[in-house]
Amino acid sequence: MTTALVIGGGVAGPVAAMALQAAGISATVCEARPGPADDRGAFLTLQINGIDALRAVDVDVTGLGFPTPAIRLRSGTGRLLGEVGTGQPLADGTVGVTLRRGDLYAALRDEAVRRGIPVEHGRRLVDAVTDGDGVRAVFADGSTAVADVLVGADGVHSRVRSLIDPTAAAPRLLPVLDTGGFAPPQDTGAEPGVYEMVFGKRAFFGWAVAADGGVWWFANPPWRPGAAAMTDAQWRTWLRELFADDRGPAVAIVDSTAGELHGWESHDLPHVRRWHRDGMVLVGDAAHATSPASGQGASLAVEDAVELARCLRDLPGPAAAFAAFERLRRDRVQRIVRAGARTSGQKAAGPVGRVLRDAVMPLALRTVRRDAQNWIHHHHIDRDARVTA
């Protein structure tokens, strides 16, 4: 039986392992962290293309979150710029969902374990050597493991990517930071499940009301050095200053949020020159990290996992399978990365850019075809269809 080592235990890793198992390939997930990261990050959206791809491996996580089928965009003055959907529902009425990142990690990991897939923590990859016997992985604790293929699902700062191509370009720093949290129920003027997003005078703010009435929110301040090391008090002071002149509940939402606030930088990968070499291949953010503004990071990772397993199932050997996988995926994901970068740029617009954006966006949203983004959201993978070289 063909064997695989999957490096990374976030979204792409466990799904890749389950998809590979379904294709008759024995997979082991190796995660660098010493234990589960069920409290990592705030929340994310899983769009209908990601939900559909998860169903290809018989996994459904929609019950972990709440439906979020639409987004309302406003200016900092409170003016409604327009409303966009997150894709037409699937045939059974399913729409995109918002869920806690840690809940998604835990559900995918636990399902992989339930299916008999080993998930090993504290396994930080430092090197990999390919030879006639496959790929020998070397870990930080000195241990090794050998498999026929090694799948790099280890994120935007992927070690596997640097092993495939030591001269690979570094991830690109995006012009906005990310922070967010969970506030108690309060009157925000938002309908349950409909995202409200505000292009504020100094920063971008968004929120949605969950099924229990709680407010899940995020903010995108402009990038500044040292922000990742700021304290909770510093973050709160800065956010109050950023949103003080905007109409809306941003300041009240932030002030009512319990616990410590943290922020982090975001990166994307406009172009990864090499996705594979010998018995190693990249999936998810390791191959094509996109701005969080695209809302597609998790969904694209799931799509990758399903497509890679199909290619390894149907084609003779890793070289042919990896080439077909890249052919099936590269154009689509790079197009979405470009779209996400444009959206991030709009969030960081200067004074003149804000005026132009707020003037043009309502017209653009009214004239754009409602199905213009179907190519993103209605991407279906037939897991039973055979892949040809």
146 bridge partner residues: 136
pLDDT attached to residue 26? 98
pLDDT in the model for residue 372:
63
Q: Residue 310: its pLDDT value, please?
A: 98
* Residue in 385, 200, 210, 224 with CA at minimum distance from that of residue 309: 385
C-alpha span between 306 and 226 (Å, rounded):
38
3-state SS class at 118: coil
- pLDDT of 251 reads 98
Q: What pLDDT sits at residue 349? A: 67
Domain ranges of the chain: 3-66+97-171+267-347+372-377
Helices (H) and strands (E) counted in the chain, each on its own, are 11, 19
Q: What is the CATH number of domain 3-66+97-171+267-347+372-377?
A: 3.50.50.60
Helix (H, G, I), strand (E, B) or coil at 100: strand
Q: How many angstroms separate the CA atoms of 235 and 300, rounded? A: 31
Q: Which pLDDT does position 39 carry in this prediction?
A: 62
Q: Are 194 and 72 in contact (CB under 8 A)?
A: yes
pTM value? 0.94
**What confidence score (pLDDT) does residue 343 get?**
83
Structure-token pair, residue 21: 């198992």
Block means of pLDDT (10 residues each) for the chain, 389 residues, are 95 98 98 78 92 97 95 92 87 95 96 98 96 91 96 98 96 94 96 94 96 96 91 97 96 96 93 96 97 93 98 96 98 95 77 70 66 83 93
- State residue 370's pLDDT score: 59
The whole-number pLDDT of residue 283 equals 98
What phi and psi values does residue 170 have, to the nearest 5 degrees? -70, 155
